[in-house]
Amino acid sequence: MPRRVLAPLARPVLAFAGLIGLGLAVPALAQVLDLALPFFGLILLGFCCGRIFEAPEQGLQWMHLFVVYVALPALFFNLIAVTPLDELANVKFVAITTLATMIAYFTSFGLGLFASKGHVGEATIQGVGGAYSNVGYMGPGLTLAALGTQSAAPTALIFVCDSIFFFTIVPLLMGVAGAQKTRLRDTAFLVVKRIVTHPFNIATALGIAAGYAHWQPPVAIGKILTLLQNASAPVALFAMGVTVALRPLKRVSGEMPALIAIKLVAHPLLVWALLSAAGDFGRIWTFTAVLMASLPPALNVFVMASQYQVYVERASGLILIGTICSVVTVTGLLFVIAFGTVPYNLFVIF
């Protein structure tokens, strides 16, 4: 195999192998690694395939279409349809988690303004990189595996509200930056359209309606939805790995380590602290929110950068490095969750 193919594979493969060895050497970690490594292993598998095989990138479009428009909506619908409606009306939880995302975003945005010497367009994408977790591809599968089906409601709420925030703030700031030559009315229409027509949001709304009406799909339809739900995480993670592999890292910009630190460390700690200070949301809801905030930058960072032709190459590098670093940070958080080494409420007095 050519060296140019092997070289980019070395670090992620060695990191993955090191974690496996750590699990074998420390039996207490085996349970956590059994949970975390399959997820990162699927990403690594997709990454390796993307590096080794010379398949055209256009084929990925069908895989992303399957994940975004078919498989993950089936997952959201199935989970929300059986969730009590009073859990979905937790306004306080939504306000706090969205506030934490907004703080992470504007902190990253400010850092981006400083790093880019006032370039609002670049800072807008840098803000997304420092605050937009991979809540679509990685979130549902990981939270459900770690915390069970009771995490479905907070997972869906966080996804919907994060989507609304980012689909709103990015077009508005790009309009300010001059990257989007449209009238305010047209921008507002675009924002509403993206929010209302997003497949995950539609599936969530249909799930709420089905739960309210106590409607259950016919057996055949139910089986199809279950098959799609089960396929969602493997396909999404594999596609994510391939997507990252096809956009090689060309350079590490000076602000990138700080953005990754905000995304992987500061954002989840902020969510944890705010929820702890605001009251008792329970172990499942608190750790679901923290876990969702701890995920690496979403692929939408690259999508938005490409849409506006700003910060494109560095956005792909941010996703790649952030995903590799999250192998350690997310696994560490799962250890805390699994073994209860820290209370879910940080301000509990013993």
How would residue 2 be classed by pLDDT, with cut points 50, 70 and 90? low
3-339 CATH choice from 3.30.200.20, 1.10.3720.10, 2.60.40.10, 1.20.1530.20: 1.20.1530.20
Q: What is the pTM of this model?
A: 0.83
* In contact, 164 and 191? CB cutoff 8 Å: no
* In contact, 253 and 115? CB cutoff 8 Å: yes
Measuring CA to CA, how many Å separate 107 from each of 81, 121, 172, 306? 36, 15, 17, 22
**Structural domain boundaries in the chain:** 3-339
pLDDT surpassing 70 at residue 102: yes
Taken in order 173, 178, 179, 180, is the CA torsion positive or negative? positive
Three-state DSSP state, 250: coil
The rounded Cα 128 to chain-centroid distance in angstroms is 11
Give the per-residue pLDDT at 184.
65
Q: Kindly state the average pLDDT of the residues 145-158.
A: 89
Give the separation between CA 120 and CA 329, rounded to whole angstroms: 30
How would residue 15 be classed by pLDDT, with cut points 50, 70 and 90? low
Instruction: Out of 30-34, 40-44, 142-146, 221-225, give the one with best mean pLDDT.
Output: 221-225
The two structure tokens encoding residue 233: 């995480």
Percent of the chain with pLDDT over 70: 87
29-45-249 Cα angle (round to 5): 100
Give the per-residue pLDDT at 267.
97
Which of 286, 298, 296, 297 has the alpha carbon at shortest distance from 336? 286
For residue 50, the surrounding DSSP H or E stretch is helix 27-52
* In contact, 178 and 108? CB cutoff 8 Å: no
How would residue 123 be classed by pLDDT, with cut points 50, 70 and 90? very high
Which of 186, 151, 163, 148 has the alpha carbon at shortest distance from 289? 151
Give the per-residue pLDDT at 312.
83
* Cα torsion through 64, 200, 42, 287, rounded to 10: 160
For residue 204, the surrounding DSSP H or E stretch is helix 199-213
Give the per-residue pLDDT at 95.
95
How would residue 350 be classed by pLDDT, with cut points 50, 70 and 90? very low
Over residues 318-338, the pLDDT tens digits come to 998 998 899 889 988 988 888
